[in-house]
Structure 1
Amino acid sequence: MNRPGGKQAAVVLGAIGVVFGDIGTSPLYTLRTVFAPEHGLDPSREAVFGVVSLIFWAITVIVSVKYVTFIMRADNDGEGGIMALIALIQRANLRSRGAQIALVLLGVFGASLFYGDGMITPAISVLSAVEGLEVVNASLKELVIPITLVVLAVLFFAQRFGTGAVGRFFGPIMVTWFGVLALIGLIRALQHPEIFGALSPHHGAEFLFNHGHEAFVALGGVVLAVTGAEALYADMGHFGAHAIRKGWFALVFPALILNYLGQGGLILSDPAAAASPFFLLFPPWARIPMVLLSTVAAIIASQAVISGAFSVTRQAIRLGFLPRLSVRHTSKEEVGQVYVPAVNWIIFAAVVALVVGFGSSEKLASAYGIAVTGTLAIDTLLFFFVVRAMWHRPMWLVIAGAGAFLTVDLTFFAANLTKVVHGGWFPLAIALVVFSVLTTWQRGREIITTRRVEEEGPLRRFVDEVREIEPPVARVPGTAVFLNANPETTPLALRANVKHNHVLHDCVLIVSLTTERVPYVHENERLSIDDLGYRDDGITHITGRFGFQDPLNVPALMRQAAARGVEGNPQLDDPSYFVSKIQIIPSDRPGMAKWRKKLFLAISRNAANPVEVFHLPDERTVVMGSHIEL
């Protein structure tokens, strides 16, 4: 999307305010975690050079090269994130249907891991920032948890105002944050200029080779420097790839590297500073202001993954992995900016439990990393299948690229497996729960759809039967709009109206909405009109095509159809809308395990009201029920 210069600068500022918060607060806890006493790594000169070198090259390879340069090219009409990759895989013509299904399921598990990351990030970011109070004064330790919980409550309550508003507010603050990171890092690094030598990859290689198990465990902490890489990709629909790339290379990347170099230089001069190298970078008079600034930055870090979780959820709904939930658009300009209340409050509850349960950022760091590295590896695999199947790049290039990036991703993933018993089980447990929900809904929806088709019967046969009824069905004045999921079958509400009430409206519009695997569908391609074989019976079928980011506005679709010309002269001032409500009855019929049937029923009860989803006028909508066995 081309924007004027001033507006583009505002978008870049908004992106800095939302997208980079997660990765931008990693300096708060990364080096402190690597050199934590329980990991057994002494902050020797070789270890400091090796760790800083590994951090620099991890950020460069994973974020700058893999995500910002390559993976962000794999957008689904502007939308990013692992769900966008899943949509691209579903559209690709893979030779093996089994391989396609396996890749989609792998992608769904990756999306499930992202939710685990979305729960840990707010907890560890805000905790690590507020823990700066302990550096200022050890007696303030008792206030850390209460202050953290208050900050998180304010953050999650503010989500309803939208990421655009949040981004405009946070953008200048984050520019200040990254400016401070760069300045203090440069000052400390210049005091110990030898630390710039850590940018050479040989220091990282020597550290891994000489320190064996200790270095391998240290990788589990090094990967914390790239947390938020998936959020950059998932938030692409909010601000666009160009704004994210510009913000990353112009400000965020150099600021992060300078700060890590500064922390490394500080530890070289005072190994005891490894206990809290970030806050000890600053003189005593500046530490309380930095606690305040870092707390705000931690809020922004949380915003990056929360808004990413909203985007992933919305795409999951449109791609059929979740029921329709309440999704609120929070911007008139950026369609990708949404707020999902159910997801917001579930994440908030989990974050509070994490803060209270783990009690410190050091303990939470043990839970962090599994979800991040798992998602990194899955993104790489799906991306290179897209490169091969949709972009038709040569196989040797795909294998070389995937092999190089997967080597890095899987090495970090293996290092984080050592954390499973110390808290890493939490994101894995969350991922398994979310994966079960997503796949259960998809499978249950397929079964219900098949059995609903049997119940509804073919639409054209129904129209033929209506013409043959003797005496003819009575026609009543007005326009009736019947919503139906399947364009080939008869709406249950329409069938019941004829069977039990023996009437039809003068103008009957049967509407089916299809969601394409693209974010947006152009207005000119929005609808198709079918007279169902007869031009004189006032019964018309309308198919509305929507992208998974388009609002499903049925009244607006009806107005567009009327402008195109529909038989029966529809009166759209006061039409009646009929919605078929399906009551699902569990049965012993095969297709799903009993526990999955119970889960499907529980999920279905939380689906959004179709009247709200389709923007129907409540006072003119009739809901008619029917039973379907699962």
Structure 2
Amino acid sequence: MSTLENDNAETHHTSRITTAGLLIALGIIYGDIGTSPLYVMKAIVPGRIDANLVYGGISCVLWTLTLQTTLKYVLLTLNADNNGEGGIFSLYALVRRRGTWLSAVAIIGGAALMADGIITPPISVSSAVEGLEAVYPHLPTVPIVIGILVALFLLQSFGTQIVGKAFGPIMFVWFGMLAVLGIMGILHHPEILKAANPYYAYNLLVNTPGGFWLLGAVFLCTTGAEALYSDLGHCGKGNIRISWIFVKLCLLLNYFGQGAWLVAHQGEELSGRNPFYALMPSWFLLIGIGIATMAAVIASQALITGSFTLVSEAIRLNMWPKVKLNYPTDVKGQLYVPSMNRLLLLGCIGIVLYFQKSEHMEAAYGLAITITMLMTTLLLSMWLQAKKVPMPLVVLFLLVYGLIEGSFLVANLIKFPHGGWVSVAISLCLISVMYVWLRAYYIKRRLTEVVPLATYLDALRELSKDESIPKYSTHLVFMSSAERPTEIESKIIYSIFQKRPKRADIYWFVHVDTTDQPYTMEYSVKELAVDDAYRITFRLGFRVEQKINLYFRKVIEEMVRNKEVDITSRYESLSKQHVTGDFRFVVLEKYLSVENDFPPMEKVIMQAYFYIKQFIASEDKYFGLDTSSVKVEKVPLIISPAQDITLTRIEDQPSPVTAP
């Protein structure tokens, strides 16, 4: 076993606590949760300002950030890292061997996270831009919001390496502004600090008519908690935990400051005013709106990058079509998924056009993310069991957070008719795609016929020496899905010997094995026939880019240096010049044969699979193969042969002779 010499083989996260790491955490980790003060209090107090509502709402926000964000995510969930990486799919990779049903949990959680991610950029940018209405009441904000979003998505293909360096300082300014504005508000009405007493939260939820349903609005303060875990690999748990102390303090100061302003104006109608902007002096308003807009763009960027990462992980786990992945810069984790970028852009524009205003988006936001948090709780309980945590503590964890997140989910259900159905519909579409892709993967694997390779090695040698057949390539490389090195798919044998005999000097069989560790980069070589056939197995982590063409070339170079193989062309004229022989890849793509008779459910799944597949680029692009030297062959996938059909032969009847 060898390790590939590649940058991705390095550890992906920074474990040391540094100033740079803390700034990176501010810029990448807290974009979503850091912009929640733009809309949370406006959602909790939508109409007439009531003091009980304000005190109860502030108290609920404080204890939600403490129990949900701090205790569950920052202190507990960050420990469930997969070689320094976090997120629901990384957590699933850690525990998936404990039950096949866990794949459904991961699919539901991942799909819901991506679905709510489509609403996050519009609501963040809209909330920031709508602050301009305080200065320009008749300004149309929708075109401005769409313009900012379009520019943001167009920039994705260039990567965010340069912009990313500015994220941390900008977010530091943002959080500093939150704290200063909050302190100014608190100084005008210090009594608001009483809201730290959990009694006010209890009073709102239990004694205030309709108070329980305000949990849907309160939940908006912690929607970015899942991003804390998903972005763990960017800067390490130490930097996240230290920076969270500063972030939480700034957030709470601002929430209490907004509460102070609201209490000072109790009895009034909010009438479209945003308590966040109401805290600002008039001379600072435009500056504050500018800073808020930059923070909203950063929050959107974090969600977009997170969606790309989710898709790439889902692909490695066979839960998403093998779409093209680009790596625009050399920064670890820097990823661009063109197809997902287009879908997100269209989804965000659709959200803005449909809802128009941020307050309408608030009515829809948060429903899907509560489902993600519940799924994370289930997976985390399995991880706690794997870590030998006493069962009573695991049950207590499940009960406490099942109750908290279950309450948030029930409260958020009232958002369904007000736009919450949008995120649920998107979630269901994504769940359907993931389910179809995973089931189809297992169906194809079950029905892939493999044969002992040793049976055909002599025939390969004979074919290689048969000069009566035109040489197809000096080196012929097949992508193989057979897991055992002693076996090969029957379709590959058919392609070599029958479809069109493919004579080559050396046959290479390449297999890619995706590991549960995120950044594994290893390979092994097995000599099947001396100087005639080899098998290379790559063990790549689920976050590693599939550059098979590059990796294969590096392996060949190492084998040549070790004198394990001679890749010089065997054409007599070229051999004298020591010219390297040509390499040609063959990728076999399956299609659904019409000669099938299979169970109705599998039929629906496979038809859906192949319907989606026609919109996806071929697998050679996913594997990063050189398109000039790749042959893609279509082979039928026969799930079950059609039942025998009996045909009856009849004798030809003589044509009637017409009398002259």
Q: 1:174-210, CA deviations, whole angstroms, 9 ceiling, x for partnerless residues?
A: 1111110011101111221111121121221122222
Q: 1:28-76, CA deviations, whole angstroms, 9 ceiling, x for partnerless residues?
A: 1111111113xxxx53322211110110110111111111111111112
Alignment of 1:370 onto 2:379: no
The AA in structure 1 aligned to 2:363 is S
Q: 1:366-400, CA deviations, whole angstroms, 9 ceiling, x for partnerless residues?
A: 11121121111111121111111x21111011111
Tell me which of 255, 258, 263 is aligned to 2:250: 255
1:441-452 to structure 2, matched below 5 A, reads 441-451=437-447
Q: CA deviation at 1:404?
A: 1.6
Residue 461 of structure 1 aligns with which residue? Answer: 455
Q: CA deviation at 1:264?
A: 0.5
- 2-structure distance, mates of 1:546, 1:575: 23
Task: Identify which range, 238-247 or 503-512, moves more after superposition.
Answer: 238-247
- 2-structure distance, mates of 1:550, 1:102: 26
Residue 97 of structure 1 aligns with which residue? Answer: none
Change (3 A) 1:194 1:622: same
Which SS does the other structure have where 2:100 is aligned? helix
Change (3 A) 1:470 1:370: closer
Change (3 A) 1:570 1:610: farther
The AA in structure 2 aligned to 1:83 is F
Tell me which of 571, 586, 590 is aligned to 1:578: 586
- 1-structure distance, mates of 2:587, 2:462: 26
1:327, 1:338 within 8 Å by CA — same for their partners in 2?
yes
Change (3 A) 1:467 1:380: same
Residue 45 of structure 2 aligns with which residue? Answer: 35
Alignment of 1:16 onto 2:22: no
- 1-structure distance, mates of 2:557, 2:164: 40
1:21, 1:301 within 8 Å by CA — same for their partners in 2?
yes
Q: CA deviation at 1:326?
A: 1.1
1:544, 1:557 within 8 Å by CA — same for their partners in 2?
no
Change (3 A) 1:3 1:235: closer
Change (3 A) 1:503 1:601: closer
The AA in structure 1 aligned to 2:162 is A
1:56-455 to structure 2, matched below 5 A, reads 56-91=62-97, 94=98, 100-140=99-139, 143-212=140-209, 214-249=210-245, 251-271=246-266, 272=268, 274=270, 275-334=273-332, 336-388=333-385, 390-451=386-447, 453-454=448-449
Tell me which of 630, 633, 636 is aligned to 1:621: 630
- 2-structure distance, mates of 1:468, 1:480: 15
The AA in structure 2 aligned to 1:576 is R
- 1-structure distance, mates of 2:501, 2:373: 59
- 2-structure distance, mates of 1:480, 1:236: 42
Residue 540 of structure 1 aligns with which residue? Answer: 534
- 2-structure distance, mates of 1:64, 1:544: 39
TM-score (norm 1): 0.90
- 2-structure distance, mates of 1:3, 1:416: 35
Aligned residues: 606
Task: Identify which range, 74-83 or 163-172, moves more after superposition.
Answer: 163-172
Change (3 A) 1:529 1:36: same
Tell me which of 1, 26, 32 is aligned to 2:36: 26
Q: CA deviation at 1:4?
A: 9.2
The AA in structure 1 aligned to 2:539 is R
The AA in structure 2 aligned to 1:152 is L
Change (3 A) 1:240 1:574: farther
- 1-structure distance, mates of 2:458, 2:464: 13
Which SS does the other structure have where 2:615 is aligned? coil
Identity level (%): 34
2:34, 2:251 within 8 Å by CA — same for their partners in 1?
yes
1:527, 1:561 within 8 Å by CA — same for their partners in 2?
no
Tell me which of 548, 553, 556 is aligned to 2:547: 553
1:539, 1:567 within 8 Å by CA — same for their partners in 2?
no
- 1-structure distance, mates of 2:419, 2:534: 58
Alignment of 1:47 onto 2:53: yes
Change (3 A) 1:559 1:103: closer
The AA in structure 2 aligned to 1:231 is A
Q: 1:109-165, CA deviations, whole angstroms, 9 ceiling, x for partnerless residues?
A: 01110111111111111111111122223222xx11111111111111111232443
Residue 649 of structure 2 aligns with which residue? Answer: none
1:220, 1:369 within 8 Å by CA — same for their partners in 2?
yes
> Runs of 5+ in structure 1 lacking a partner?
95-99
- 2-structure distance, mates of 1:199, 1:492: 68
Change (3 A) 1:594 1:540: closer
Q: 1:209-239, CA deviations, whole angstroms, 9 ceiling, x for partnerless residues?
A: 2204x21121111111111111121122333
Change (3 A) 1:57 1:598: same
Structure with the largest fraction of helix = 1
Q: CA deviation at 1:611?
A: 3.1
Q: CA deviation at 1:619?
A: 2.2
Change (3 A) 1:350 1:502: closer
Change (3 A) 1:352 1:120: same
- 2-structure distance, mates of 1:351, 1:414: 26
Which SS does the other structure have where 1:577 is aligned? strand
Which SS does the other structure have where 2:208 is aligned? helix
Q: 1:483-533, CA deviations, whole angstroms, 9 ceiling, x for partnerless residues?
A: 1122432373553233354453222111111111111115xxx1222233x
1:473, 1:502 within 8 Å by CA — same for their partners in 2?
no
The AA in structure 1 aligned to 2:591 is Q
> Runs of 5+ in structure 2 lacking a partner?
1-10, 569-579, 640-660
2:525, 2:537 within 8 Å by CA — same for their partners in 1?
yes
2:73, 2:225 within 8 Å by CA — same for their partners in 1?
yes
RMSD in angstroms over aligned alpha carbons? 2.6
2:319, 2:437 within 8 Å by CA — same for their partners in 1?
yes
The AA in structure 2 aligned to 1:139 is H
- 2-structure distance, mates of 1:594, 1:613: 26
- 1-structure distance, mates of 2:426, 2:133: 31
Q: CA deviation at 1:245?
A: 2.5
Alignment of 1:606 onto 2:601: no
Q: 1:455-500, CA deviations, whole angstroms, 9 ceiling, x for partnerless residues?
A: x533333325546889968795722222112243237355323335
- 2-structure distance, mates of 1:340, 1:110: 20
Which SS does the other structure have where 1:623 is aligned? strand
Larger Rg: 2
The AA in structure 1 aligned to 2:252 is I
